[in-house]
Amino acid sequence: MDSLPLKAGPEASPVALVPEWATRPGASPSEADAAFGAGAALAVLDGIVRSQPEWSGVWQARLALAAAQETLTFFRRQQSAEALRDALLLTPPQGDPGPDGHVLRAWQALSERRAAIATPLLRDLAADFGIRFDGILLDIPALLDDLEQAAGSPLHSAAVLLETIARDRPDAEPLGLWLADWMIARRLRWPRPLPLIMTQRSGPPFRTAGGRGRCKPAEPGYRAALCAAVALAAADACRRAAELSRRAAQLQDVSRKVRTKGAAKVIRLLLERDAVLATAPGTGLSRWAAGRLFERLESLGAVRELSGRNSFRIYGL
């Protein structure tokens, strides 16, 4: 089936990267030094977030996937990116994706949340993370409102939030980090929040001397560690953005060679989502036409097959 050629997108615009010095505050940095690096990193990331590139959807989704994997590590449940994708993509729309799928769904929801946080949402998030919704968690909406109005930097607000939750509910750390990312975005007036801090939870910033322990909220050095983690997370997000910008430009360039009816909808999905089923549901393409389209895009270097299977295949940038 033929249609009008898809409009070719522009070449990838250069995406700024965080300078290396911002992510290397040195051994045992002071809170001020770490905060300076985090501020520099967030300033670079801020430019990308505000530009709202056409591939921002897949970018946010890939960050959510990384955060979900780290969350499962917190819960002592290791899971691959492929298995997490399957948990959502191979589950019917009204079906239960299982505990791991719920965790991924929670992180995907972060980038959709621009409004204030209310109790019903918190209850749903707690359920997705598999934690009890009681105690200090009931007071979170009021605390968030106070922190949003308070003086101080976004990172200070995030630290206060995490320390408050950790005092009574250390098991709710994933929810706390979700809310901390939301708070940072809210204070910076970003159009959409990004999953950031959780992606660095097991990283160097939070490791104690010798690397055998982990610095926890309210402990000495935690706020400096939090700032260092934000700097690393922002740098990683910028690197991912640069790579996805190049891949999106390649996809748009290849789209000129594709004449399958309905291809434009598939291209849009690939720019908006982490992954798309080979059957391309919701695009109006038959299973055969969708499969042929993805094979064509893959042969032209525009997409990758992400599952490693010969059936129930999944594609993405």
Q: Which CATH number fits the domain that encloses residue 278? A: 1.10.10
Helices of type H across 75-118: 81-89, 98-110
- Say yes or no: 25 and 141 in one domain: yes
**Residue that is last in its domain, among 241, 268, 296:** 241
Residue 2 maps to a domain: no
Within the chain, strands assigned E span 276-277, 304-305, 314-316
128 shares a domain with 267:
no
- According to DSSP, residue 137 is labeled G
Instruction: Kindly report the length of the chain.
Output: 317
> pLDDT (tens digit, 9 = 90+) per residue, 132-155?
999 999 999 999 999 998 888 999
Q: Quick one: 222 and 265 in the same domain? A: no
| pLDDT tens readout for residues 35-75 | 999 999 999 999 999 999 999 999 999 999 999 999 999 99
Q: What percent of the chain has pLDDT over 90?
A: 74
Copy the structure tokens of residue 6: 């898809």
Whether the pLDDT of residue 7 is over 50: the answer is no
Together in a domain, 307 and 196: no
What is the pTM assigned to this prediction? 0.92
Is 172 in the same domain as 291?
no
If one counts every other C-beta atom within 10 angstroms of the C-beta of residue 292, the result is 14
CA angle 186, 191, 193 (to 5 degrees): 55
Q: Are residues 162 and 266 in the same domain?
A: no
Model confidence pLDDT, tens digit, residues 245-276? 999 999 999 988 887 788 899 999 999 999 99
pLDDT at site 258? 81
Answer whether residue 12 shows pLDDT above 70: no
- Tell me: pLDDT of 4 over 50: no
Give me the chain's average pLDDT, please: 91
Question: Quick one: pLDDT at residue 211?
Answer: 67
Give pLDDT, residue 116. 86
Residue 11 lies in a domain: no
Based on the domain organization, do 220 and 268 belong to the same domain? no
Residues 210 and 287 in one domain: no
Residue 191 has pLDDT above 60, yes or no: yes
CA atoms of 208 and 243, how far apart (whole Å): 32
Query: What DSSP string describes 204-247?
Result: GGGBPGGGSSB--TTSTTHHHHHHHHHHHHHHHHHHHHHHHHHH
Predicted confidence band of residue 2 (pLDDT cuts 50, 70, 90): very low
- Check residue 10 and report its DSSP letter: P
Owning domain of residue 189: 21-241
Number of domains in the chain: 2
CA distance 203 to 86: 26
Instruction: Note whether 198 and 104 are same-domain residues.
Output: yes
